């Protein structure tokens, strides 16, 4: 299905499958006179819940993204995300607000497999991008959200698009359901920037833990205090360091697992996480969990790596065939910790 929001009359469209019907149902709800709409959160930081969101604030979010990416009326966009969540809903709202021509495709890992034409704009998850590397050059501007973009995926993107000498632009997003999708973007192609840049309408600061505080009155009336440790570059730009609630306190040393993971991924391409297991002596024992079959060679590589101190070296290495993830591909660290504790 292709929906032209330049000259849109809903009675001119009929769904061919359940996903297209979901899209049309959302458009009908969006165009009614209600001021609020229900949105389901992802559940990546807790139990999924339904929140009521003001449509005008979603319009504000859509305008910010379209302005940042310089999207114009009549350009094409691809919807390949579930419309149950804010990410998919916002793609439709952007299409409506900027009068885009929206190509609707059921959410699949190989989201670009059947796309023959060039598309101006698309939002995807890291897993979708991972499975669409061969066709990325068909999209002029891509935003990636829902989960962190791994170093390995960044390298794959850069290698493929440099080889094809494409003019595509790829961005990683920073945001949450409460900010109605993202409030900042970080370019990862053609430049590989290490900082996110907040939209002009967004004010950012940090608390005494160096955790990001977001003031986005056009999106949320409350100042949002996150648990994301950041390093401020200037008043609009920040580097993401890691989650404060992921910090592992081992023998009195506070360890950021995400910093360690980034270091190890310079050598290994496997997906991996550091977690802290309860320990009588250390409080928390640092262990490394690697996704995949048990591999002595990988264990040997880890043993040979240099770490900042002996406290930062994992006391044990575990392998899990596959990591538990949210629907968008975000790794569920707490679930991994439970699985490893049950293996002990």
Percent of the chain with pLDDT strictly greater than 70: 97
Question: Cα–Cα distance between 328 and 330 in angstroms, integer?
Answer: 6
Q: Do residue 175 and residue 322 come from a single domain?
A: no
Which pLDDT band, with edges at 50, 70 and 90, does 121 fall under? very high
Question: Cα–Cα distance between 229 and 210 in angstroms, integer?
Answer: 5
Domain count, the chain: 2
Domain boundary residue, one of 178, 200, 222: 200
Q: Do residue 196 and residue 251 come from a single domain?
A: no
What is the structure's pLDDT at 201?
A: 94
Which domain CATH number covers 280? 3.30.300.30
Question: Cα–Cα distance between 70 and 89 in angstroms, integer?
Answer: 20
What is the structure's pLDDT at 343?
A: 79
What is the structure's pLDDT at 150?
A: 85
Domain range for residue 181? 2-200
Q: Do residue 25 and residue 167 come from a single domain?
A: yes
Domain boundary residue, one of 174, 200, 226: 200
Query: pLDDT by residue (tens digit) across 224-282?
Result: 999 999 999 999 999 999 999 999 999 889 999 999 999 898 898 889 999 999 988 88
What is the structure's pLDDT at 16?
A: 93
What is the structure's pLDDT at 43?
A: 52
Question: Cα–Cα distance between 128 and 17 in angstroms, integer?
Answer: 21
What is the structure's pLDDT at 281?
A: 87
Which pLDDT band, with edges at 50, 70 and 90, does 120 fall under? very high
Q: Do residue 286 and residue 174 come from a single domain?
A: no
Q: Do residue 23 and residue 169 come from a single domain?
A: yes
Q: What does the pLDDT average to over 303-332?
A: 90
Is the pLDDT confidence value at 42 over 70?
A: no
Question: Is residue 105 in a domain?
Answer: yes
Least confident of 102-106, 111-115, 245-249, 317-321: 111-115
What is the structure's pLDDT at 21?
A: 96
Query: pLDDT by residue (tens digit) across 17-32?
Result: 999 999 999 999 999 9
Find out whether 30 and 55 touch, Cβ atoms under 8 Å: yes
Is the pLDDT confidence value at 51 over 90?
A: no
Q: What are phi and psi of 280, to 5 degrees?
A: -65, -40
Question: Is residue 68 in a domain?
Answer: yes
Other beta carbons within 10 angstroms of residue 233's beta carbon come to 13
Query: pLDDT by residue (tens digit) across 52-92?
Result: 889 999 999 999 999 999 999 999 999 999 998 889 999 99
Name the token pair of 184. Answer: 């900042």
Question: Cα–Cα distance between 20 and 17 in angstroms, integer?
Answer: 5
Which domain CATH number covers 124? 3.40.50.12780
What is the structure's pLDDT at 95?
A: 97
Question: Cα–Cα distance between 109 and 173 in angstroms, integer?
Answer: 19
Is the pLDDT confidence value at 48 over 80?
A: no
Question: Cα–Cα distance between 230 and 212 in angstroms, integer?
Answer: 6
pTM beyond 0.85: the answer is: yes
Question: Is residue 234 in a domain?
Answer: no
| Mean pLDDT score of the chain | 91
What is the structure's pLDDT at 116?
A: 84
Question: Is residue 236 in a domain?
Answer: no
Question: Cα–Cα distance between 341 and 276 in angstroms, integer?
Answer: 10
């Amino acid at each position: 299905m292709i929906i032209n929001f330049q000259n849109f009359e809903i009675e001119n469209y009929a769904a061919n499958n359940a996903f297209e019907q979901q899209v049309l149902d959302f458009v009908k709800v969006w165009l009614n006179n209600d001021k609020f709409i229900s949105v389901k959160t992802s559940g990546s930081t807790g139990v999924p819940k339904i929140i009521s969101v003001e449509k005008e604030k979603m319009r504000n979010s859509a305008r910010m993204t379209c302005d940042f990416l310089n999207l114009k009326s009549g350009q094409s966009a691809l919807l390949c995300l579930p419309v149950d969540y804010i990410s998919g809903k916002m793609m439709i709202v952007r299409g409506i607000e900027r009068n885009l021509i929206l190509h609707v495709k059921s959410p699949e890992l190989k989201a670009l497999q059947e796309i023959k034409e060039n598309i101006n704009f698309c939002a995807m998850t890291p897993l979708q991008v991972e499975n669409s590397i061969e066709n990325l050059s068909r999209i002029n501007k891509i935003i990636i959200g829902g989960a962190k973009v791994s170093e390995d995926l960044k390298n794959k993107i850069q290698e493929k698009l440099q080889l094809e000498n494409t003019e595509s632009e790829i961005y990683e997003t920073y945001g949450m359901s409460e900010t109605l999708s993202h409030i900042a973007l970080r370019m990862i192609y053609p430049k590989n920037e290490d900082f996110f840049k907040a939209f002009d309408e967004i004010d950012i600061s940090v608390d005494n833990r160096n955790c990001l505080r977001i003031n986005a009155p056009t999106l949320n009336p409350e100042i949002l205090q996150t648990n994301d440790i950041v390093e401020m570059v200037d008043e609009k730009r920040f580097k993401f360091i890691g989650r404060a609630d992921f910090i592992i306190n081992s023998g009195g040393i506070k360890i950021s697992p995400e910093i360690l993971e980034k270091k190890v991924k310079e050598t290994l391409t496997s997906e991996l996480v550091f977690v802290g297991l309860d320990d009588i002596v250390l409080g928390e024992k640092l262990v490394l969990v690697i996704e995949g079959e048990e591999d002595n060679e990988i264990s040997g590589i880890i043993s040979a790596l240099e770490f900042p101190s002996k406290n930062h070296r994992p006391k044990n290495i575990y392998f899990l065939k596959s990591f538990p993830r949210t629907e968008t591909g975000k790794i569920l660290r707490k679930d991994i910790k439970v699985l490893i504790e049950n293996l002990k």
